[in-house]
Amino acid sequence: MRDKYPIPEEDYEYSDSEHEEELLPEEFPPGTVIQQPYADLYDDDEEEYPSLPLDPIVALVVLIIVALLGAGALRPDVRFTILWTTLAVIAVIALLVDDIEVERPRLRDLLLGIGYGAMIGLPILTVVSAQLKSISLSLFGEGNHAFVFQTVMFTIPFAETLFFRAVFQGTRGLLFAAGGAALWTILLFFPALNILQYPLVALVLAVALVFVNFVYSYLCERFGLYAAWMCQVTINIALLFLSRLT
């Protein structure tokens, strides 16, 4: 008499290639549903972007709108302090929320950044020191050199390096970071300058800002974040602070 609950047949291991038989689609009975592994349901060639809780592009657009509309009535020094401080705070929050890693500083990276900055900034300072002095005075006023030094030495490089090179470039790539940083600087500086009276000078300045921001992003990509940081510090001191003393 057969048991009511027959003993299952012996399980077979299909991991051994000798016992595996690959069935062609036409060999399956009609109506058979063929299930594929989950890995085959996705295209390996499709590039996936991580979902960021704090998108740097959205943050940059909001800051630009605030810079153009909400902070126009403030004095330049107050407006710059508020905007760059806000940029730094957003960058720090993005680093924490989006879990973006930042490498530790190395002396080699710092020296490389200073060297590139001096190689770019000092020749420009020598050739167009009078024009740079006029730009610096228009941006920060004639007095309080200590405030200008603190701004160009610490505030600007810290905020822009963290936001554009660490957060923006780390999630969107070099070209987007360089373009976004150049656009930010142009929209922040040009309202304080008399660009309508000297359109050719404004064009040259815009090209220069695009160039230096591309250099910062390239150094970040090639040598690391701190090389880009020190390069911006050196160029800022040469073009926006030392030019005031000439």
Cα 73 to Cα 7, 47, 67, distances in angstroms: 86, 44, 10
The number of distinct structural domains making up the chain is: 1
- Does some domain include residue 35? no
**Residue 69 belongs to a domain:** yes
Residue 45 has pLDDT above 60, yes or no: no
List pLDDT tens digits, range 53-108.
667 888 888 888 887 776 567 777 788 888 899 999 999 998 888 777 888 889 99
Q: What was the pLDDT predicted at 39? A: 45
The per-residue pLDDT for 199 is 80
Rounded to whole angstroms, the Cα distance separating 188 from 69 reads 11
Distance in Å from the first CA to the final CA of the chain: 110
Give me the pLDDT at residue 24, please.
53
* Prediction pTM value: 0.75
Residue 38 located in a structural domain: no
Range of the domain at 60: 56-245
Q: List pLDDT tens digits, range 153-183.
A: 999 999 999 999 999 998 888 999 999 999 9
193 burial class (0-12, 13-18, 19+ CB within 10 angstroms)? middle
- Whether 86 maps to a domain, the answer reads yes
